[in-house]
Structure 1
């Protein structure tokens, strides 16, 4: 059976929702690094079985995602009786190979670990199984792919998992990983019942979001979108230095002390009921230091936007029964803004109080933006925009125009819950770290202004370091590194190991 015949045999479909339509239409590539001392063949065979098991739970993930755009709605098509993508085209969905010396500068896994899984090592073309180009409107691609790499010394596995964003958001990825790691019991009857409920839930949510449509929607009523300008997102400044990405690593005790100080400041200014989370504080800290680094090319009264993705499962009434088991996009990006001069009034003042005061100001702004989605009218407006946009990709472009991450803004997403505490049970990995990954990284894509809070043992709790993936222009990154090292004295000493900046001892 050739590809076209197989695609033609996929006669069943999933009712995607407006939030699926308006999600970024690309892959979420995640790379997991494991210590290893077993047989590569045994490990690869096990991982292929786990992938097949996960596709059995969600048969639609063994079909094709048909891209939308230009008046074409995206689709997820599959067959509940025919071969899955893994069975029909195994080499396109599951790839098992060893790395060659000329492909990866790090021959030894221990070296990768010593260097804290550096951002630049996570080459998506080597470590992930991705199409050469994303499909155009009406074209298809595999919803999920997996590439299994072993370092040359066979002491480490680098697992590259790619999931299409048109189907998964962060919580969806988390649920996929839980099944892939073997947290569910292998029960075909339970699979069938689960998938039937999933399909009905998708239809119900699609209907529910549609009922929130307003006949007259002011597409720019909130500051989270800009539909006034051309449909393309902001263009990259061709004269700017190229982007690079780095991992910022900060000890948990330093973040705990900073959060305590920041929370006291927020309560003192905004009342005893005011609140900012630890993640708000981490996000604000990086927003402040990134703005400091950019002051070399930002005017004092330029606006810097900060965007963060918010899971709204608990806010949609029809998802309240099982809000965390909804595989699909149920997130919105909210933005806040500030004058650059307020985030970084003096980029050279590294006193603890000065830094904490700026972080408290920024963290409060971030928390207020997140809380706007507690308002039914605000949530309704976001959903109405998703329903009313004639060309769904325009929504993502409208948000990106507001953020303007390549110049002054920051586009943040938290991956805290994506697999750091999971035992994947891969043969040969359980002797160290109990089968859990040593590090988890996003694939290297240095788009300036992008930021991810990396998966962390214990989520927001525990004593694991906080790791933040940041991409900036090259000159801004140099200033960010220098600023963190100079300002680290506020909460601990800063040192630099390769591309890792560590606040603390």
Structure 2
């Protein structure tokens, strides 16, 4: 029986004031102007979709948050909000599951239910009159960003009572911020950006979207899994006797690698392929090795300490039969690679790259089936931070064309993850703003390790 933590409903009319420690010691003040709900523009009746084994492990993660910063649009703010709502009502005819809510059937199996009486997607408009784009662009962590994106600290399980998607549009002095919170039990990164790009298509005048979502999750897995999830006992503010010390505070930072730097990393790791190797290491495998080595050095682990590398792999083309790229839902699984820290840092980079490549290659339809069957026999609901000891866990993907999401007021200046689902060693990879093969790396680490990483010339590719 899994124990889950719930949060209280937020006040929709709140004014948020967050102390920001900067050179100017500013306050970030966000005022919520309006909250409405957007539904498909046409009646769709009642539609149900069973959540499957690929979805359910994320029920105890938090809502997945994405944040995009745009220049301009201030004078047209009200018109832009209405245009976004209109486009959303059109696109939700295709992506109606995001307008639904979580529910359970009589057997306790989770499902998504949409009917014409459902509230729909939550849309919030807000203003941060004292904040400029520049104030946010230089922000490495998520403190300033936190009140620009909804549902901080809200579990996916709360989709039983909350919308499955909440969007906040905030007017700045010189731009706009779009903060989105997606229920991670409903969709993964591939589906998230499919939805976002489709919504943008409609808002820029397209009569239809280029790729329809594939909505039947049971084509990928049709096993019915009952989950008995129980919220924690109420403590009325008193200690529950848990003496576990709080984890050290985390720091977050973005490291931006140009196309030429990515190519150098890849070339270096492919310069000495392991004996018997039949294919080169990919950009992802090469960059992952670069990050894993650097974070392990930064943590100053003992040689005998284990370190885990985790990647959330897209299984759409790995399952049998393969699913289309447009499959809407979660179709990812975590793949783990473990070794001793001393062996990792003492070995040439192709050693780690070979382990990562082998783990990814071995995760075929047979391995996925075995993982699903094992989990279904004993469902374990992991928390977002259960990725492994001394872990480096990579999420998102530079393949997602996040800087092409243009709703008619320009492409984003920056794309970020929110504060949810971050732990020591969590890494998000994004397409770089400069385009090409450039990649932005968001890393969360304990403060001392981050300090070491910031000085690591090998990681930063600084020549002496």
TM-score by length of 1: 0.71
Structure 2 residue corresponding to 1:472, chosen from 445, 449, 460: 445
- Cα distance between partner residues in 1 of 2:182 and 2:357: 29
Question: 1:487 maps to what in 2?
Answer: 458
8 Å contact 1:309–1:333 — kept in the other structure?
yes
8 Å contact 1:120–1:246 — kept in the other structure?
no
- Cα distance between partner residues in 2 of 1:173 and 1:301: 39
> Any stretches of 5+ residues in structure 1 without a counterpart?
1-5, 87-92, 102-106, 214-234, 346-356, 430-434, 495-505
- CA apart distance, 1:312: 0.8
8 Å contact 1:14–1:75 — kept in the other structure?
yes
The reply on whether 1:40 has 2:77 as its aligned counterpart is: yes
The reply on whether 1:161 has 2:173 as its aligned counterpart is: no
Question: Per residue, is there more helix in 1 or in 2?
Answer: 1
8 Å contact 2:65–2:182 — kept in the other structure?
yes
User: Where in structure 2 are the equivalents of 1:201-220 lying within 5 Å?
Assistant: 201-207=216-222
8 Å contact 1:252–1:462 — kept in the other structure?
yes
The reply on whether 1:438 has 2:445 as its aligned counterpart is: no
- Cα distance between partner residues in 2 of 1:159 and 1:40: 12
Over 3 Å counting, the alpha-carbon distance change for 1:42 and 1:73 in structure 2 is same
Over 3 Å counting, the alpha-carbon distance change for 1:206 and 1:65 in structure 2 is same
- Cα distance between partner residues in 1 of 2:153 and 2:136: 27
The reply on whether 1:462 has 2:436 as its aligned counterpart is: yes
- Cα distance between partner residues in 2 of 1:181 and 1:138: 25
Secondary structure in structure 2 of the residue aligned to 1:325? coil
Question: Per residue, is there more strand in 1 or in 2?
Answer: 2
Question: 1:341 maps to what in 2?
Answer: 342
- Cα distance between partner residues in 1 of 2:261 and 2:402: 21
1:106-146 CA distance string (max 9 Å, x none): x2213434x2x53335533x111227743658933211111
Structure 2 residue corresponding to 1:305, chosen from 305, 308, 323: 308
- Cα distance between partner residues in 2 of 1:365 and 1:44: 48
1:155-205 CA distance string (max 9 Å, x none): 1211101111111011111211121111694359x99xx67xx45x32333
Question: 1:76 maps to what in 2?
Answer: 112
The reply on whether 1:172 has 2:191 as its aligned counterpart is: yes
* Number of residue pairs the alignment of both structures matches: 401
8 Å contact 1:19–1:386 — kept in the other structure?
no
8 Å contact 1:342–1:358 — kept in the other structure?
no
Question: 1:273 maps to what in 2?
Answer: 278
- Cα distance between partner residues in 1 of 2:280 and 2:180: 36
- Cα distance between partner residues in 2 of 1:470 and 1:176: 25
Structure 1 residue corresponding to 2:136, chosen from 96, 101, 112: 112
Secondary structure in structure 2 of the residue aligned to 1:56? coil
- Cα distance between partner residues in 2 of 1:377 and 1:316: 8
- Cα distance between partner residues in 1 of 2:189 and 2:405: 19
Secondary structure in structure 2 of the residue aligned to 1:324? coil
Over 3 Å counting, the alpha-carbon distance change for 1:67 and 1:109 in structure 2 is farther
User: Where in structure 2 are the equivalents of 1:369-380 lying within 5 Å?
Assistant: 369-374=359-364, 376-380=365-369
- Cα distance between partner residues in 1 of 2:442 and 2:153: 25
